Chains A and B, each alone.
Chain A
Amino acid sequence: MRNEVRSLRAGRDLSQQQLGEAMGVSRQTINSIEKERYTPSLPLAIALARYFDRPVEEIFHVDH
């Protein structure tokens, strides 16, 4: 799923490892989300949205 995780993470000067630790997932999972190979669960998507203080739909985009 297309998303803004990489740009938001970079905007906060965070590494994938740091964001992964904050979300309770591995660095590789953050990398997979950023590369749009893995669609996160709803709880993780909401956790990311809360972390970046954005609505979920501003971070994750459903392509039609």
Chain B
Amino acid sequence: MSVTEIQSAPQTAQVEQREPVVNDFSISVATKNGSGSQTANTTLLRALFKMGIPVSGKNLFPSNIQGLPTWYTIRVSLEGFIARRPRAEIVVAMNPVTAIEDHQMVESGGVFMYADDLKLPLNRTDLSYYPIPAKKLATENETDAKLRTYVANIVYVGALVQLLGMDLADIESALLFHFKGKRKPVDSNMKVVRAAAEWTAANITKTDPYRVEKMNKTEGLIMIDGNTAGALGSIYGGVSFAAWYPITPATSLADALTAYLPRLRMDAETNTATYSIIQAEDELAALGMVIGAGWAGARSMTSTSGPGISLMAEFTGLGYFAEIPAVIWDVQRMGPSTGLPTRVSQGDLIAAYWLGHGDSKHVCLLPGSVYECFEFGWRAFDLAEQLQTPVFVLSDLDLGMNQWMTKPFDYPDEPIKRGKVLTAEEIDRLGGVQRYKDVDGDGIAWRPLPGTDHPLAAYFTRGTGHNERAAYSERPDDWEKNMARLGRKFETARKLVPAPVEDRVAGAEVAIIGFGSADPAIEEARTRLKKQGVQASYLRLRALPLADSVKEFVAAHKHIYVVELNTDAQLCQLLRLHVPEHILSIRACNHSDGLPLTARWITEAILEQER
């Protein structure tokens, strides 16, 4: 391959005769991190959303402030498929470092739009090439030299507006959303967008078939990221205390709490706060504070990712044995230390489920959408206080940090459940407190809150050795009885947690089990499989411990593919333990490369075994 410098528009595929492709393609924008591309990308995404077209946007970014390569993919899908696609029809190459690779990744027949100062061999005959004078347009239309680098990225938005047939009004409306109604940045960006659209109209001959048309498929929907959804859910669940430590990809969850709580939880009469958020010195202290506050009786939470979960292991175990409510959000990413901290994974499932030392197991909620991030946000507090135990919510980077379409969140339709709390009057009537006695047969004992004004209210909280009256005990029978009760409590949890969502296809022998952010790719894969003659039932898990109904679902199918985004097939392992009698029909269908799953990969992985 020889490198030729491209000065004018290169050879372009002869595609004029192709049928238009409307509202069904992907755009991948390659930029440098920190170059202002987020404004351009989210503006484009929201403008498409405002046009009524189903969209999804995924930010594939490095662990870096400025300079390393970043890609943003936008999928427009008239059918409503929102999973990631491995390749894009339209590639916008703004980063010279990755341009060669970006060029190779364009789908055949697609578009390669590039900043005209890129120097690379544009030698594919199956693409439309559109060079854009990004720097020139930015310089001409932005007088502030400091902002020029940033607005250079909005140039491609203007070019795409022209090429795809979008309305400038939709871009303006999206920019107003992005800048929270601030006119000045909207106007300066719009100036560049308009100039770029005009330049494109005058200088580029459209040879590709891709365009957009208004639809009504996003009517009534909102667009939001899972971390904001989780924070809002927590707020409508009555969170009073949050302690956290900065970590990608969970930081924006705490940021959303910090943004919304002052608006929603200030007591107007007394001008005092009815909440507190503390940025702790580390994740260990963050959970320590949450456990302390949960013990004292406040709805308390923390949000973190895998490395934080590791640090929280001892406190989680203490919370389990001392029976203290806490809500822990794990916005999952890849493994420890540096390397892939900004890449998605479902790799903390087993770690979270069994976190701690000495026979502990935890309720884990598994939201499969931003809607469920909200719903499980408030339900997690009810479960934690009803069960008096730490509850995990396992989200991930894809769900947490990307924008998703969703129906608006419904206000909780149930009153807050504070669980079994003993008041001074009840202690008086009962003649004392038996903190760890199972009086109701569900494994859950009654607790008084510290400060309860009764001479018999107090008890001593410690981790392991205690009897029913919370007295220190190293007696073998006390220990065994306590562990048996905790086992009963876990069975109660099994019935209380959100049930799996089942879609059984009559007569289907193949089934898929999955959870979390894999859902859109699984749903799309089922459609593809159906076209290939493979009908697949689907069970989407929404919590651990596993519901009893999972056993029956497994038994009803011949091949069960457990689709998940990790290397050790963690859910598959849990299912095999849960339904050992069907161990041979439970098949791992896992993949982990740091990117969200695609329907293509799932379809091929299943077809490989079904053909």
Tell me, yes or no, whether A binds B.
Answer: no
Please report B residues at the A interface, Cβ cutoff 8 Å.
none
Q: Which A residues are closer than 8 A to B by beta carbons?
A: none
